[in-house]
Amino acid sequence: MSTLIPVAISVLALAVSVFNVWLTWFHRGSVRMTVPSMVAFGYDASGQARTFNPKVMVRTLLYCTCARGHAIETLFLRLRYQTNEYLFPIWGLCVDKLERSGGLLVTKTGVTAWHHFVGSADLNGFQFGPGAYEIVVLARITDQKDPILLWSSQLVVPPELAPKQHNGADQLWFDRLPESGGFIARLESRDAGEQERWLSTHDSSQR
């Protein structure tokens, strides 16, 4: 009996060591996304012609379930409104400042950031109106063939809060309620002076 206890302890220690090696070096885990704390619908201004492209902004935490982490090549967003589906393929990342993203390493400690998704050129005529929107955020991960789904939800724009100005002056914000977990909408509008200052400094082509 006295010899069995040290043997059992040694076997247990070896098993723990093997598990730690597997967890550290071989377990690939997955990339996860928390439910956003805020979502916003707005517009991005680009070029001297002042075209306004629809944009969806998401404030969230991305994290990985494995120790080694994963490299995200790109994020993109699909928006379903009424009977149509729209692609928002241009990804901007804002941690300390807003930049056009070239990839992101996500580890188990996670990265909290604003993610800006701008519609492609063929969406120039799209405008945010009242009604239900289904939002789907997807990621393309290095060494994985197909994009993965990170988060999807439905948000409703009440008729009284639908943007009236589609030149970036109106932004519709959805704040997550901590108790119910749902989202409440609010409309924010820039006055003429604020809008002019925004247009003078805003150039999405530099992101």
Residue 14 lies in a domain: no
Domain that holds residue 129: 29-206
Residues 150, 139 contacting (CB under 8 angstroms) = yes
Out of 39-53, 78-92, 158-172, 175-189, least confident range = 39-53
Residue 12 lies in a domain: no
pLDDT band at 144 (very low <50, low <70, confident <90, very high): confident
Residue 23 lies in a domain: no
Residue 1 lies in a domain: no
The Cα 151–Cα 108 span in angstroms is 18
Q: How high is the pLDDT of residue 20?
A: 46
Residue 186 lies in a domain: yes
Full-model pTM: 0.80
Residue 54 lies in a domain: yes
Residue 82 lies in a domain: yes
Return all residues near 48 (Cβ < 8 A) that are at least 6 apart. none
Give the chain's domain count.
1
Nearest to 79 by CA among 110, 120, 109: 120
Contacts of 159-167 with CB under 8 Å at 24 or more apart are 159/130, 161/130, 161/185, 161/186, 161/187, 162/128, 162/129, 162/130, 163/41, 163/127, 163/128, 163/187, 165/189, 166/43, 166/52, 166/127, 166/128, 167/43, 167/45, 167/50, 167/52, 167/195
List the CATH number of the domain containing 54: 2.60.40
pLDDT band at 114 (very low <50, low <70, confident <90, very high): very high
Average pLDDT (179-191) is: 88
HSE value, Cβ hemisphere, 13 Å, CA-based, for 141: 20
Out of 41-45, 51-55, 191-195, least confident range = 191-195
pLDDT band at 12 (very low <50, low <70, confident <90, very high): low
Interval 79-111: pLDDT, tens: 999 999 999 999 999 887 788 888 899 988 899
Nearest to 127 by CA among 169, 183, 96, 77: 169
Interval 162-172: pLDDT, tens: 998 888 889 99
Residue 175 lies in a domain: yes
Neighbour tally for 3: CB within 10 Å? 7
